Amino acid sequence: MLEISNINAYHGRVQALWDVSLRIEEAEIIALVGANGAGKTTLLNTISGLLRPASGRIRFLGERIDGLTPHAIAELGIAHIPEGRRLFPIMSVRENLEMGAYPNEAWKKKEKTLEHVFAVFPQLKERAGQLARTLSGGEQQMLAMGRGMMSRPKLCMIDEPSSGLAPKLVLEVFKVVKSLREQGITVLLIEQNVQHTLQIADRAYVLENGRIVSEGKSSELLKDDHIKKAYLGL
């Protein structure tokens, strides 16, 4: 579904990604593991067109997308749920969700999709008319994920969904991520909770200092001594 080949990317004059390559097959959950500052968010921003790579190629469903605008990439079926949620604070819950239905096909089916999002997150239905800024942290994360679902994506990229949440809510977030795959949505997941992430992911890539240093099945990486020491505290 997604193929990234030898991507190099910069923030100003500082190189952030070095010859990064990875692939994602349809209906997989792929984890991107790494410390803060490793380049994980930069990679998602590069895939979604917010940052142009200096070199390399990105193909989605066989089509090269590294030269496209963010809205054109969204139209192709890639949803980006950013770190920090990035909600519209003085818009209502429903208005935030409707903003997620940007692609033309998603807008045509927004009412049906909205019903589905409300079924997944019943709290959002109860608060449909409430301003986004008045929601709790957990509810705001639900809203961010629901807004991503409103675009009816083929690939959903999720950046740090459990950040700042209570442990009970963290488990709920991971249940939702798993449910996306059950709906036929492929997932690329960045998450500091490496233990839970590797438990639900099919495969994972380890990014350190802007470079992919390891990859493999998640079940195998959970047994890897470097992963245990660096990311699991074992």
CA distances from 60 to 77, 79, 152, 182, 210 (A): 9, 12, 16, 21, 22
When pLDDT is cut at 50, 70 and 90, the band that residue 202 belongs to is very high
Q: What average pLDDT does the chain have?
A: 93
Where exactly are the structural domains of the chain? 1-77+156-170+186-234, 84-153
* Residue of 102 and 45 predicted with greater confidence: 45
When pLDDT is cut at 50, 70 and 90, the band that residue 234 belongs to is low
- Average pLDDT for residues 170-178, to the nearest whole number? 88
CA distances from 158 to 30, 125, 131, 197, 206 (A): 10, 22, 23, 12, 16
When pLDDT is cut at 50, 70 and 90, the band that residue 162 belongs to is confident
pLDDT digits (tens, 9 = 90+) for 61-96: 999 999 999 999 999 999 999 988 899 999 999 999
Is residue 166 pLDDT above 90, yes or no? no
pLDDT digits (tens, 9 = 90+) for 2-42: 999 999 999 999 999 999 999 999 999 999 999 888 999 99
Q: What is the pTM of this model?
A: 0.92
Q: What is the identity of the amino acid at 96?
A: N
Is residue 229 pLDDT above 90, yes or no? no
* Residue of 59 and 225 predicted with greater confidence: 59
- Average pLDDT for residues 169-191, to the nearest whole number? 90
Q: What backbone phi and psi angles, to 5 degrees, belong to 193? A: -80, 80
DSSP string computed for 101-128: --SHHHHHTHHHHHHHHHHH-HHHHHTT
Q: What backbone phi and psi angles, to 5 degrees, belong to 85? A: 75, -45
Is residue 168 pLDDT above 90, yes or no? no
Give the CATH fold of the 1-77+156-170+186-234 domain.
Rossmann fold (3.40.50)
- Average pLDDT for residues 135-147, to the nearest whole number? 92
Q: What pLDDT sits at residue 204? A: 96
When pLDDT is cut at 50, 70 and 90, the band that residue 49 belongs to is very high
Edge-to-edge strand list for the sheet holding 186-190: 78-81, 155-159, 186-190, 29-33, 203-208, 211-217
